[in-house]
Amino acid sequence: MEKLTFRYAQEQDCEKILFLIRELAKYEKMEDDVIATPELLREWIFEKKKAEVIFPMEDGKEVGYALFFHNFSTFLGRAGMYLEDLFIMPQYRGKGYGKATLKELARIAVQRGCGRLEWSCLDWNKPSIDLYLSLGAEAMDEWTVYRLTGDTLRKMAGELDA
């Protein structure tokens, strides 16, 4: 593995973050779902501080990104970290950068006193699943993710007529 370093994203990185989000969306065949803009990323990541981004860096160049935020476990009585996105550009894969990025996230979580690091993975993404299992991560098969978005979310909030 080349010498890999990490840096936290800064406000001026919003275009770069959005580029990488779009690359991830291409990989996941979800390009049409990306409605984020640099302005939205700036507001929610840097002004409202609702998420953080680190870049794995090879020779001073960003080779991917990880976007994460804190959640809370009532059972553990402490915060955890939720990894929303982990993406390594295709030309940099196979060098151990995904594993190294997960190790860096684990280091951050432990340093911050978090009780867990968790994430979701598309069930067809076998290369990533194999990596996660090789690191000792456990699939939470007994849990199902539910989601409200768009008009359904607004309807639930009482902002739209049923």
Whether pTM > 0.75 for this model: the answer is yes
Structure tokens at 127: 């290369």
Are the C-beta atoms of residues 6 and 65 closer than 8 Å to each other? no
Burial class for 115, CB neighbours closer than 10 Å (0-12, 13-18, 19+)? middle
Catalytic position from the list 65, 92, 97, 132: 132
Q: Is 27 a catalytic residue?
A: no
pLDDT digit string, tens, across residues 80-128: 999 999 999 999 999 999 999 999 999 999 999 999 999 999 999 999 9
Report the DSSP beta bridge partners of residue 55: 7
Are the C-beta atoms of residues 83 and 117 closer than 8 Å to each other? yes
Residue of 78, 101, 141 whose CA lies nearest to 1? 101
pLDDT digit string, tens, across residues 135-149: 999 999 999 889 898
d(CA 9, CA 16): 9
